Structure 1
Amino acid sequence: MRLRSVPLGVAIVCFLAIAGALTMSARSFAALRSSSIPTWLQAHVGEGDGQIAQVVLERARALYLRKVSEGSVKNPCYFAMDATRPGDLGNGVLGRRYYIICEAEQSFRAVSAGHGGGRNLKGVADFSNGRRCAKNFGNAMDSELTAGGAYMTAEAKTSFKGFYRVGAKQNAVFMRTFIQFDGEGETANARQRVIGGHPAALLRGMCLRKSPNSSYADHDGYVPFGKLVNYAGGRSNGCTSWSPADAEQIIPMVKDNPTTLYIYPESRDIAAMARTVAARQSTSAAGLYWNASCLKEIGAPKFWPKRMLEPIIAQYKKDHPLPPPQPVPICKDP
């Protein structure tokens, strides 16, 4: 059989095509490997305390890998939160439902985090949440609800809040850092809602104390003074709140080095779960996930979309205007 000679140009084209196909196959294989959950991380998957549910990890990891491939994230760590889990386990024990995952270091840590408390607009709409479990979720302005979905950490803002007593004659400055979140899709209004992460601490019982030599004094020589309260076991106004100790570790991780945060559940998860509960079907048979303890407590979850809830809140504000702000009183004790 006589072999035909192949023109050089055709041979080069064929070679490049084969090389390109091999390169694409290698890239596809690498992408497949990178998208599979490592064995060490899979060991943390579960529904027990300190574990992360499979669906929560898969979505959090997919979001992180997407942002890394887009070049918007270079941070070696990413975050996830499971807002279907209880925040308070009782007897002073907090539920661990916020996850810090650093795959390069093979590090996994679960800590506590607060969920949005929501509001009860008396006689109009009740979308409030209890201390232990969240039933209501949403993305409306001024709803104080948690909205599940994709977020990116953004800038850190540290502000002076006042002074508090730490000893018989010793006061300390209270500064609190707020990490702004930027969302996408249903969480796209996160910045507008001022949604972010911060320590679960604040000053209550505020009064003004004379301290003209303080760099924080106002034009009359007064500084704000209050009692430091740690509400790590409580609820937030829709933000993600960490215990002060955990915040000291989390905030430096994302300062000037953004990363991703995925919060479960999204509205689609809530709708599917509500339908399944209403039909009295098995949630596991339907392939749905919700923390069993909280699902038993809340009955069925509900998502309040902003298109529905924002007009209700706006009308309530008109019908129930806030009283004029009162001046902060002067401290009675020296």
Structure 2
Amino acid sequence: MRLRFIPLGIVIGFFVAVIAMTASVRSFAALQSSDVPTWLQAHVGDGDGQITQIVLERARALYLKKVAQGTVKNPCYFAMDATRPGDLGNGVLGRRYYVVCEASQSFRAISSGHGGGRNLKGVVDFSNGRRCSKNFGNAMDSELTAGGAYMTGEAKTSFKGYYRVGAKQDVAFQRTFIQFDGEGEAANARQRVIGGHAAQVLRGMCLRKSPNSSYADHDGYVPFGKLVDYAGGRSNGCTSWSPTDTQQIISMVKDNPTTLYIYPESRDIAAVAKAAASGHSLSGGLYWNASCLKEIGSPKFWPRKTLEPIIAQYKQDHPAPPPQPVPICKEP
């Protein structure tokens, strides 16, 4: 029998690869531990600027799952607690959106808007106040927040119009939208155009003559409006942040997707609503922000199979008026 010798370089390379793979597996196993790191545990709690235990555990589990699958390489992940108040009064915003970067031991809590819902007058009211959310759901055109697992998708920047910043000094307003892709009950996030963006919008739109603008239409007009910041208010179901926080988040996820977990899911809402109806206190793993639960009484989840037919019928019974042309601006 003839012996076949393997070159020493190949043997060494093989063992180096095995050692590297073993180290990688051990590193991930350590990260995968259900025990929250000590530095991160210091941020766990129910106070403003803290993250509740169950929200962190689910957000972390989602992130580790996607890392293990190889779909996420971003060192940071996001979480949102939509049961917390968005407005604490006196111009102070509640911090309920979390940016966690375990590799650099970084934790940030920032403000975020929530789905405002709608009041279909004479039919059904599933609207939310400025401070706390009572209603949640995943129906098309409901403008409600749906909790669950999401991944950040592509970032798309679009021109919205001009606004004035000084004496005859106009600035183009371009807003970037980060698409979210959801799972389970949130799987229709792309269909609903659910994502994240700055809590800014142009109001009172009119058309101003500006033929030299690259955004001018064929008649030489550009849209013009007043820039409004609604960081402390509600949204159409999307996640909205302050302009400064938005820039930082976009830079983190552009071409580098990560996970976002939004609490509560429908199962959480049903369990809390059941406890509230029976007069029992929340225990056994049930969680809702105490001040908001006291304010709303009991939360409700509106499934799309229930709400979408109602919204469709309302649209049919209340057709939208024909769109009116945007007026020409009255020059100051």
Does the TM-score normalized on the shorter chain lie above 0.5? yes
Q: Unpaired runs of 5+ in structure 1?
A: 1-22
Identify the residue that residue 14 of structure 1 maps to in structure 2: none
Identify the residue that residue 272 of structure 2 maps to in structure 1: 273
**What displacement does 1:32 show?**
5.9
Identify the residue that residue 93 of structure 1 maps to in structure 2: 92
Identify the residue that residue 166 of structure 2 maps to in structure 1: 167
Amino acid at match of 2:128: N
**What displacement does 1:31 show?**
2.6
1:143-179 Cα distance to aligned partner (Å, 9 max, x none): 0000000000000000000000000121101000000
Identify the residue that residue 136 of structure 1 maps to in structure 2: 135
Distance 2:112 2:140 in 1: 21
Distance 2:59 2:145 in 1: 17
The aligned length equals 310
Output aligned runs, 1:47-126, within 5 Å: 47-126=46-125
For residue 215 of structure 1, give the secondary structure of its aligned residue in structure 2: coil
Output aligned runs, 1:1-334, within 5 Å: 31=29, 34-35=32-33, 36-283=35-282, 285-334=283-332
Q: 1:30 to 1:239 in 2, by over 3 A?
A: closer
Q: 1:56 to 1:203 in 2, by over 3 A?
A: same
Distance 1:161 1:137 in 2: 29
Distance 2:32 2:118 in 1: 42
Distance 2:206 2:31 in 1: 58
Identify the residue that residue 8 of structure 1 maps to in structure 2: none
For residue 115 of structure 2, give the secondary structure of its aligned residue in structure 1: coil
Amino acid at match of 1:328: V
Q: Unpaired runs of 5+ in structure 2?
A: 1-20
1:223-272 Cα distance to aligned partner (Å, 9 max, x none): 00000000001100000000111101111110110000000000000000
Q: 1:33 to 1:171 in 2, by over 3 A?
A: closer
Q: 1:42 to 1:329 in 2, by over 3 A?
A: same
Scaled by the length of structure 2, the TM-score of the pair is 0.91
**What displacement does 1:333 show?**
1.6
Larger radius of gyration: 1
Distance 1:287 1:112 in 2: 25
For residue 189 of structure 2, give the secondary structure of its aligned residue in structure 1: coil
Identify the residue that residue 10 of structure 1 maps to in structure 2: none
Amino acid at match of 1:329: P
Scaled by the length of structure 1, the TM-score of the pair is 0.91
Q: Percent identity?
A: 81
Runs of 4+ in 1 over 4 A off after TM superposition: 26-30
Distance 2:311 2:230 in 1: 26
For residue 68 of structure 1, give the secondary structure of its aligned residue in structure 2: helix
Identify the residue that residue 9 of structure 1 maps to in structure 2: none
Distance 2:90 2:136 in 1: 26
Amino acid at match of 2:127: S
1:286-323 Cα distance to aligned partner (Å, 9 max, x none): 43110000000000000000000000000000000000
Q: 1:30 to 1:259 in 2, by over 3 A?
A: closer
For residue 246 of structure 1, give the secondary structure of its aligned residue in structure 2: helix
Distance 1:27 1:247 in 2: 34
**What displacement does 1:88 show?**
0.2
